[in-house]
Amino acid sequence: MSGFVEQVTLTGDRWVTLEPLTREHLPEIEAAAADGELGALWFTAAPKAGAAADWVEARLGVQHPDTGLTFVVRGRDGALVGSSSYLNVDGPNRRLEIGNTWYGAAARRTGVNSETKLLMLGHAFDELGCVAVEFRTHFFNSTSRAGIERLGAKLDGVLRSQQILPDGSRRDTVVYSILDIEWPAVRNNLRYRLSRHS
């Protein structure tokens, strides 16, 4: 099966290895999801402790070379610490979104997210030839918004009432992007940030 986002393993210099999600990862995802009760945040799509199987099936249901790819993130000790995905793939227009990112508490405030994004952005721009990579998050997810802005992504706008959530509330989606011409500066910034992590 060929398409825009073929399954690939991405290995960083220091912090992470990214592997395509499979059902075999479920026990490790259950454990990582329980680290910090990430699924308790109402505005995220992170797996909830005890219900990670539903999350795995949902991610695998949209995992196809023409639509998306979900990675599990392994820390430098080999433990599964989170996940991030290529979403809303638009191969003909050489665009995709990076999102559905979550990490257990032990991985936060380390170099894990910076190296994960360095690998995913590098693959998108340098190997897939993307002209733009998007990031989308809930308006109320201030931590995610700050993280996206620290990457160097620029605000495109807010899609008001873009999604109706399972609890009936409406999600205002904040959209950011990085363009291919911005990638060299963003890459330099990510490498600089990683050099400052011990």
Looking at domain 10-197, its CATH superfamily turns out to be Gcn5-related N-acetyltransferase (GNAT) (3.40.630.30)
Give the per-residue pLDDT at 176: 98
Give the per-residue pLDDT at 40: 58
Closest CA to 189 of 98, 116, 118: 118
172 membership: H or E segment, kind and range: strand 170-179
Predicted confidence (pLDDT) per residue in 5-53, tens digit: 999 999 999 999 999 999 999 999 998 888 766 655 555 667 877 789 9
Secondary structure letter of residue 99 according to DSSP: E
User: What does the pLDDT average to over 69-76?
Assistant: 96
User: What does the pLDDT average to over 112-125?
Assistant: 97
Measured CA to CA, the distance from residue 74 to residue 52 in angstroms comes to 17
Give the per-residue pLDDT at 1: 45
Predicted confidence (pLDDT) per residue in 125-181, tens digit: 999 999 999 999 999 999 889 999 999 999 999 999 999 988 899 999 999 999 999
pTM higher than 0.85:
yes
Q: Nearest 5°: CA angle at 121, between 193 and 15?
A: 50
**Which pLDDT band, with edges at 50, 70 and 90, does 105 fall under?**
confident
Stronger pLDDT, 43 or 108, i.e. the higher one: 108
Separate counts of helices (H) and strands (E) for the chain: 5, 8
On whether the CB atoms of residues 88 and 54 are closer than 8 A, the answer is no
- The helix-helix angle for 142-151 and 183-195 (nearest 10°) equals 110
